[in-house]
Amino acid sequence: MRKYLLIGVSAFVLGAGTMAYVSPIAQATSSTKGETYKMLELFGDVLQTVDAQYVSEVDNKKLIEAALDGMLTSLDPHSGYLSPDSFEDMQDTTRGEYGGLGIEVTSEDGVVKVISPMDGTPASRAGIQAGDYITAVNGQSVLGLTVNEAVKQMRGPAGEIVTLTIARDKTDPFDVKLTREVIKPKAAIARMEGDYGYVRLPGFNEKATEALTASINDLKTKNPNMKGLIFDLRNNPGGLLDQAVGVSSVFLDGGEVVSQRGRDPRDIQRYNARPGGDLLKGLPVVVLINQGSASAAEIVAGALQDRHRAELVGITSFGKGSVQTVIPLRGGADGALKLTTARYYTPSGRSIQKTGIAPDLEVAQTKDQAQDIANRVWFSEASFKNALNADEGKTRQGVHTPAEAPPPGFDEKKGDFQLDRAIAVLKAGSVQAVPKLPKPQAKIAEVTAKAAAAAGKGPPVEKK
């Protein structure tokens, strides 16, 4: 059975045919193939030379696997080669139970970067944040390693202590000690917030739709007068496409959820919600998103926004709008390819790739976050040098002052400002009707400059 790690279902057909004549196109193809064979011969020569003359003995299997992964990761950040062990680990992840620390990571310029910590895991409890760089594991540098190699070092028997060296913006590198656990991501977390239900979905593994359905039914049974729902997709790194469609079906009564389009403009595959869905029977819904909402989370948020079934509160999502198909090689015996095969589009035809899903009400979670958004490019899919472009050529919004941030006196350690604003939207009836808060006044750079001038130190110097 194929597994689809992030988003995507696609078929691959490799075939050969005969031609009655040699056309110019065929000649060009033949020439291209000749050049390809020449380069493959070059690869063999290099491998042979390294094997014979490198300063120490080499493992040719590892060299070839690294070459395969390098070839694929040069295409975009999400394509890659999975060794047989990595392929097995990926299958464990999609099943919703595995050993590790609970971090969704990617690679950027040879450095492992955190997309999102998972709820209720060692990484989340230790304060690991989206955008953190992991530079070493147990004192051993992971710089230059592939994501799969780095993840392999972080995984292992439950109960063992793992020390991660973290590089974070505006701080010196520091070590964090975590104890490995058998990671069983919570499929859904539900409670009441006054008259409104609250459900958080941490990921889209195989149990996501089932868990969400059970949580909403339980809330409805215990609270028959529930007036609406907050659906929390913050720091949700995504998962399986069928679960994104299934989760959307919980809120929608049929109709399109997402489409995916490959290299051929005619190659369009559409996915629809199940008719007779919408467990909430039209009750208002607000979806919470942030920079850690990616992939399947963006599909759901975009579908509910486009279909006018929910309004979105938070900050713009990650922008991971490409489809990866996992293609086992010899049934997985030789590992698998994780290959980007398409982009996905919301029901209105928006490509989310690089641009992300923008909320209806932009709300920074903290004052520091608001200042960061106003002064630097936030970590997102667009941060990758070789990220696939948005199909329609759109670009992600740059630095700007967000519409809302916690006011003076708000206790950011105890309170959840984005959640408070989501509840306010539900009470008011819509984003348009909710009373707006004053826009944050000062950017951090301006504040710093004023403070430095007052101290007679002159303007701040940016460290590079």
Walk along the chain (464 residues) in steps of 10 and give the mean pLDDT of each run: 35 25 43 84 95 95 92 92 85 67 79 82 89 91 82 83 90 92 80 97 91 96 97 92 96 96 89 93 97 95 98 96 91 92 93 95 94 86 88 83 94 95 98 92 53 44 34
Same domain flag for 197 and 66 = no
User: Does any domain span residue 316?
Assistant: yes
User: What is the tally of structural domains in the chain?
Assistant: 3
Residue 295 falls in the annotated catalytic set: yes
Q: What's the half-sphere exposure (Cβ side, CA atoms, 13 Å) at 106?
A: 24
Q: Which two tokens stand for residue 166?
A: 């973290």
| Residue 448 falls inside a structural domain | no
C-alpha triplet 201, 248, 292: angle, nearest 5°: 40
- Residues 358 and 328 both lie in one domain: yes
Q: Which of 232, 278, 306, 372 is catalytic?
A: 306
CA distances from 279 to 229, 253, 430 (A): 11, 9, 20
Q: How far apart are CA 212 and CA 221, in angstroms?
A: 14
Q: How far apart are CA 392 and CA 353, in angstroms?
A: 10
Residues near 393 by Cβ (< 8 Å), separated by ≥ 6?
A: none
> CA-CA distance, 156 to 153, in Å (whole number)?
7
Residues 336 and 200 in one domain: yes
Question: At CA 154, angle to CA 151 and CA 159, rounded to 5?
Answer: 145
Residue 132 and residue 171 in one domain: yes
CATH number at residue 140: 2.30.42.10
Cβ 176 vs Cβ 127: under 8 Å: yes
Give a yes or no: residue 12 inside a domain: no
Q: What are phi and psi of 261, to 5 degrees?
A: -130, 130
Q: SS3 for 366? A: coil
- Give a yes or no: residue 438 inside a domain: no
Is residue 212 located within the same domain as residue 130? Answer: no
Whether residue 306 lies in the annotated active site: yes
Burial of 44 (0-12, 13-18, 19+ CB in 10 A): exposed
**Is residue 339 situated within a structural domain?**
yes
Predicted pLDDT of residue 434: 97
> β-strand 285-289 against 228-232: which pairing, if any?
parallel
Same domain, 138 and 123: yes
Is residue 269 domain-resident?
A: yes
Q: Are residues 153 and 135 in the same domain?
A: yes
pLDDT at 442: 54
N-terminal to C-terminal alpha carbon distance within the chain: 48
**Which residues make beta-bridge pairs with 202?**
none
**Residues whose CB is less than 8 angstroms from the CB of residue 220 and which lie 6 or more positions away in sequence, other chains included:** 197, 226, 279, 280
Domain hosting 394: range is 189-428
Same domain, yes or no: 254 and 323: yes
Exactly one of 3, 207, 320, 338 is catalytic; which is it?
A: 320
- Is residue 323 classed as helix, strand or coil in its secondary structure? strand
Separation between Cα atoms, residue 293 and residue 222, nearest integer Å: 29
d(CA 167, CA 425): 37
What is the 8-class DSSP label of residue 381? G
Is residue 127 domain-shared with residue 264, that is, in the same domain? no
In whole angstroms, give the CA distance from residue 279 to residue 197.
Answer: 13
Domain boundary among 150, 183, 216: 183
* pLDDT at residue 458 in the model: 41
Phi and psi dihedrals of 374, rounded to 5?
A: -80, -10
Q: Does some domain include residue 85? A: no
Q: Does some domain include residue 443?
A: no
Cα dihedral sign for 92, 96, 101, 107?
A: positive
Could you give the 3-state DSSP secondary structure of residue 39? helix
CA atoms within 13 A on the CB side of 114: 25
Q: For residue 311, what is the enclosing H or E element?
A: strand 311-314
CATH number of the domain at 314, please. Answer: 3.90.226.10
Q: What is the DSSP letter of 410?
A: -
Tokens of 133: 């760089």
- Which pLDDT score is estimated for 461? 34
Q: Are residues 126 and 28 in the same domain?
A: no
405 and 329 fall within a common domain = yes
Nearest to 402 by CA among 451, 366, 355, 353: 366
Q: With contact defined as beta carbons under 8 Å apart, do 240 and 296 qualify? A: yes
Residues 6+ apart with CB under 8 A from 228: 195, 196, 197, 280, 283, 284, 285, 286, 426
In a shared domain, residues 279 and 316: yes
Annotated active-site residue 74? The verdict is no
From the candidates 10, 124, 248, 295, which is the catalytic residue?
295
